[in-house]
């Protein structure tokens, strides 16, 4: 390989890395957008819930709020999944107590000192690499896990 070829292939590689980084960032932006959208929706439902409750109390009636509560539960589920994906992308975990973003692998929250829940891991039966719990295949050697 000539020096020029080497150089240009190096440039392409660097270019690819940058593109991948940009991809990761736009993915994060997308997720953050979805999270705030769902948070706004949740607030909306909570408001409706409060209003419905107030009206029913005022009228001295038993309000049926189960539908609203179901909607909120749905949004909560979506929010949880979105937050999880965002954390994975950013390589962080969220402190359960104070909500601080903590670097993955930290044992304690730097803000409040709470022990950080570590994501569950399993081991690859073939190469014994650590894998995220629920992985069906090893990301390092491709072996099927026992799960
Ligand atoms: Zn904390
Ligand atoms: Zn493996």
* Model pLDDT for residues 2-24, shown as the tens digit of each residue: 655 665 555 555 555 556 666 67
C-alpha of residue 103 to centroid of ligand 1, in Å? 12
In the chain the first and final C-alpha atoms are separated, in Å, by 46
C-alpha of residue 80 to centroid of ligand 1, in Å? 18
C-alpha of residue 82 to centroid of ligand 1, in Å? 20
* Model pLDDT for residues 48-87, shown as the tens digit of each residue: 999 999 999 999 988 889 999 999 999 999 999 999 889 8
Q: What DSSP string describes 85-120?
A: HHHHHHTEEE-TTT--EEETT-SB-TTT-PBPPPPP
pLDDT > 90 in the chain, percent: 52
C-alpha of residue 145 to centroid of ligand 2, in Å? 8
C-alpha of residue 48 to centroid of ligand 1, in Å? 31
Is residue 136 within 8 A of residue 145, CB to CB? The reply is yes
């Amino acid at each position: 390989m000539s020096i020029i070829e080497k150089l240009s292939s190096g440039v392409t590689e660097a270019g690819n890395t940058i593109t991948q980084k940009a991809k990761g960032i736009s993915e994060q932006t997308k997720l953050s957008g979805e999270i705030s959208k769902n948070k706004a929706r949740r607030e909306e439902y909570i408001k409706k819930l409060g209003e419905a409750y107030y009206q029913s109390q005022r009228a001295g009636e038993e309000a049926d709020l189960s539908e609203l509560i179901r909607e909120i539960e749905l949004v909560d589920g979506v929010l949880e999944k979105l937050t999880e994906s965002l954390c994975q992308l950013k390589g962080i975990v969220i402190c359960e107590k104070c909500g601080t973003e903590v670097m993955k692998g930290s044992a304690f929250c730097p803000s409040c000192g709470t022990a950080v829940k570590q994501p569950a891991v399993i081991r690859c039966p073939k190469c014994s690499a650590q894998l995220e719990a629920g992985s069906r295949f090893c990301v390092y050697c491709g072996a099927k896990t026992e799960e």
